[in-house]
Amino acid sequence: MKLITAVIKPFRLDDVRNALAEVGVQGMTVTEVKGFGRQRGHTELYRGAEYVVDFLPKVKIELAVADDMVERAIEAIVDSARTGKVGDGKIFVVALEQVVRIRTGETDEQAI
């Protein structure tokens, strides 16, 4: 089992969610976050004053998937989140040692 964490642009969330549903991903956790990478933020004008926005709004998606679903999930995220511009995001994949469904006590892949 793997935990896939994707940080994407907020306006791509619906496309990513639909693409993941099409490949069989059943659930995910979505969090609104702020951050920056190579973009290093940007400068904006507000009421005539210029200021720097260091942290840009992003969306973090976390999903637990079985090993045989990892590549399909990554491909779905990349294809649906890509705009071709700086700041499209990142995907991190880490191994999951254990998953437990609280309601039923099911473990590992049955709990996903």
Residue 87 is part of which domain span? Answer: 2-110
Q: Are 86 and 39 in contact (CB under 8 A)?
A: yes
Query: Could you tell me the pLDDT band of residue 44, with boundaries at 50, 70 and 90?
Result: low
CA-to-CA separations, 83 to 8, 11, 25, in angstroms, rounded: 10, 11, 22
Q: What is the CATH number of the domain that holds 18?
A: 3.30.70.120
Domain count, the chain: 1
pLDDT at 42: 64
Task: Kindly report whether the global pTM for this prediction surpasses the value 0.75.
Answer: yes
Residue of higher predicted confidence among 30 and 111: 30
Q: Can you list the alpha helix ranges (DSSP code H) found in the chain?
A: 13-22, 70-81
